Chain A
Amino acid sequence: MARTLPSKQRRRRSAGVSISMVVPAVLIYAALLVVPVIYAFYYSFTEYNGFPTRVPEFIGLENYRTVFGSDDMTGTMVITAVVAVVGAVAVNVAALGLALLLKRTDRFNTFGRVVMFYPHVLSALVVGFLWQAILGPQGVVNTMLEKVGTDSLPFLSDPDWALWSMILVIVWSLFGVQLILYLAGLQAVPEDLLEAAKLDGAGRWQTFRAVTWPSLASTVTVAVITSGISLLKTYDVVVSLTGGGPAGSTKTLAYTILAVSFPQRDIGLASAQAVLLILAAAVLSLTVLFLRRRAENDAESIG
């Protein structure tokens, strides 16, 4: 007759097994993500060039004062916010719109999905160079405009045009992943609800507003947060498309950290900028989650 362990002991053993499986992942996560963030936070209060021969010098909030006291930096933060907010809205509108068009599975739509995902496969650096060749003063578009006798357009040589051109290019390169998220989300919309809406005589827009949109709530949350964070980190496209120009009009915070502060070995200042970027990402995520929670609560109270 087999001996059975007492249930308490069994639970404890099972918990031990679970913990032993989780601990390695937690340790790796902590070592590779948590510890560097703690270090960045620490360095943000120091003046340090990153060399082992030099000891970081504690300077309190000086780096943060520099960030907020410099017109250059505050301008950069405004540009980053515009890119993140406008870009996130555009990426998600484009991705959701295309997902609705491509949700039915037929041969054409399968091909369409592959084509739409293709930009995301390209390196962001390649995307920048590619669009530079298309939108530059001597690029494909302007050459064609000149051929037909029209004035060329300052896509990359006017500050406003350059910012919107860059956002357009980033949206083009990013929406593939969001498209996949929305396609997956649309698969989960209950068919019976859609059919019921149809039987009740609801039009396409009414069906979308009353059935599809509420069912996509969690997908929208994930898509907005992931795209917003990606856009906050915009760096590669800036490097290869505009180089931050003209006249600094497309300089994002990530570009300033990686292309200006780190190369100048201003580790303290770069860390302060990085901490602000992390906080911005956290605020963005929490705001979206809060708005979603409130919308759900409102819906429940109405229901």
Chain B
Amino acid sequence: MSANRGSKARGAALAAVVPLLLLAACSSGSGTSGGKDGEIRMMVNLTDNLDRAYWEKLVKPFEDESGLKVKIEGPTGKSVAESFPQQLAAGTAPDVIQSIFPDDDTAPELVDLSGEAWAEGTPMFDAYAIGDTHFAVGVGTQTQSLVYYNKTAFEKAGITTAPTTWKEMTADLGKLKKAGYTPMQTAGDYQTGLQLQQIYHPTLNELHPKWQSAVTNRKLTVGEAYEPAFQMYADWIGSGYIARSDAGLSPSQADGNFIAGKAGLYTNGSWFAATLAKAGKLPFEVGVFSPPVADGKTYPGPQGATMANPYMVHKGASDEAGAKQLVEFLVTDPAAVKAQLGSDGVFRQESEVEQTGTDALIQGILDHAPALVAVGEGQGNVRLPVAGFNPKFTEVAQSLYTGASPADAAKAIDQWTDENR
């Protein structure tokens, strides 16, 4: 009898404990992550052209010189941005992380590179500082505020020079429409909000320098900052310069429309130059200009830019010194920098890398920009007090396509910002 009771009690205890043991076994350990001895794990953004072979070739000289092995890893989820926090939570984060930036959550998990002499001269190093600490170093910039245009369409529409004011731009859109072109190509998905921000960066940053900080300090609301842009877009949609149906169009279809010569203007970042190069010979010549500025301001305005090919080192790296050495190599070795500048729409001010015609136009815009400014949610110390701004901004920008007024759009983004502060 007593034996039975004892066995039942053991069974009950086992039933209670085993799930927890299983859960503990499945969950993370708190020990250090990283690869085997002498191996550095680097998580990178894998794309069609930045494939595993590209990355392995890039780090080969480092491996030969240091005797360390670099293990290239793609994201386990949708993106590096999604995978890195997941791996941090699971205790399996890589030693070096490429393509994303620190935020309030991830910063405590990263190595401060402020004291590294080699890091100081790298592009946008100070722009990405959080407080006095520097967690990310990069190779160049991805230039955001660019308007690509179809020179043939401009000629047929009788436009001789690229617009530098919003009034000229609106007039040019009208001429392009009359000439039978889609005046401005836009798209749905993330691109709706991105394009509206891209085209408005220079103006916004002239009117409200470091506008993200002004919103954080409650001196400005996002709605106040963007309402003129909402108004401008709404007017263009109303005039048929932007197609309402673009809200349901995929970004790749929008790329295709511009490449096929159907559109006059197309707002995009410097990475679009790689898409154009890949498309081969186009039926028209591509031009690029910096977006217009506000009335009475000097053209060109500040250029929206993000640090390109940023690298960060995980604090739990098994070989932190080796991981730092690898990052130093990637951002300072002349051959490695050159390879990355030629890879995927990455530019560096005053760079002398051999370039295609479109690349050279972008390089000129970057070199002549009076300043490089934070985009979207912001970066480093110039940040909005909310996370998830870009997807919400896209949603609000799309509401202009579906009938919302600019005032409604401004109110919606302010309400969301207040709810999420």
A binding-site residues for B, Cβ under 8 Å = 19, 23, 26-28, 30-32, 34-35, 49-53, 66, 69-72, 132, 136-138, 152, 154-159, 162, 242-249, 259-260, 263-266
Are B398 and A138 within 8 A (Cβ)? no
A32-B22, A246-B247 known; 12 new pairs, CB 8 Å cut-off, are A30-B15, A35-B23, A50-B85, A52-B28, A52-B88, A72-B416, A137-B243, A137-B253, A245-B188, A248-B399, A260-B391, A263-B81
Any chain A CB within 8 A of the CB of B116? no
Tell me the minimal C-beta distance from A55 to chain B in angstroms: 13
Any chain A CB within 8 A of the CB of B283? no
Contact of A138 with B402 at beta-carbon distance under 8 Å, contacts A52-B28, A70-B419, A260-B388 already known? no
Are B399 and A132 within 8 A (Cβ)? no
Any chain A CB within 8 A of the CB of B112? no
In the complex, what residues of A have CB within 8 A of residue B108's CB?
53
Contact of A243 with B89 at beta-carbon distance under 8 Å, contacts A26-B15, A70-B419, A138-B253 already known? no
Are A263 and B188 within 8 A (Cβ)? no
Could you show 24 A-B contacts with beta carbons less than 8 Å apart? A26-B15, A31-B19, A32-B22, A35-B23, A50-B89, A51-B85, A52-B30, A52-B91, A69-B419, A136-B248, A137-B245, A137-B246, A137-B249, A154-B244, A155-B248, A244-B395, A245-B247, A245-B398, A246-B398, A246-B402, A247-B395, A260-B388, A260-B391, A263-B82
In the complex, what residues of B have CB within 8 A of residue A152's CB?
245
Give complex CA distance A242, B90 in Å.
31
Contact of A31 among B18, B109, B388 (CB under 8 A): B18
Are B401 and A157 within 8 A (Cβ)? yes
In the complex, what residues of A have CB within 8 A of residue B109's CB?
51, 53
Contact of A27 with B15 at beta-carbon distance under 8 Å, contacts A50-B89, A154-B248 already known? yes
Are A157 and B189 within 8 A (Cβ)? no
Q: B-side binding surface: helix, strand, loop or mixed?
A: helix
Give complex CA distance A245, B402 in Å.
10
Q: In residues 46-94 of chain B, which contact A (Cβ within 8 Å)?
A: 81-82, 85, 88-89, 91
List the 5 closest A-B pairs by CB distance, nearest first.
A157-B248, A156-B248, A137-B245, A31-B19, A31-B22
Give complex CA distance A126, B416 in Å.
32
Give complex CA distance A248, B250 in Å.
16
Are B105 and A265 within 8 A (Cβ)? yes
In the complex, what residues of B have CB within 8 A of residue A263's CB?
81-82, 388
Tell me the minimal C-beta distance from B6 to chain A in angstroms: 14
Tell me the minimal C-beta distance from A30 to chain B in angstroms: 4
Any chain A CB within 8 A of the CB of B394? yes
Contact of A247 among B105, B189, B247 (CB under 8 A): B247
Tell me the minimal C-beta distance from A254 to chain B in angstroms: 15
Any chain A CB within 8 A of the CB of B404? yes
Any chain A CB within 8 A of the CB of B220? no
Any chain A CB within 8 A of the CB of B121? no
**Chain A residue, CB-CB nearest to B22:** A31
Contact of A245 with B395 at beta-carbon distance under 8 Å, contacts A53-B109, A260-B388 already known? yes
Give complex CA distance A249, B22 in Å.
41
Give complex CA distance A173, B401 in Å.
29
Are B248 and A66 within 8 A (Cβ)? no
Tell me the minimal C-beta distance from B90 to chain A in angstroms: 9
Give complex CA distance A260, B392 in Å.
10
Are A243 and B28 within 8 A (Cβ)? no
Any chain A CB within 8 A of the CB of B20? yes
Are B105 and A243 within 8 A (Cβ)? no
**Chain A residue, CB-CB nearest to B404:** A247
Contact of B250 among A30, A71, A136 (CB under 8 A): A136
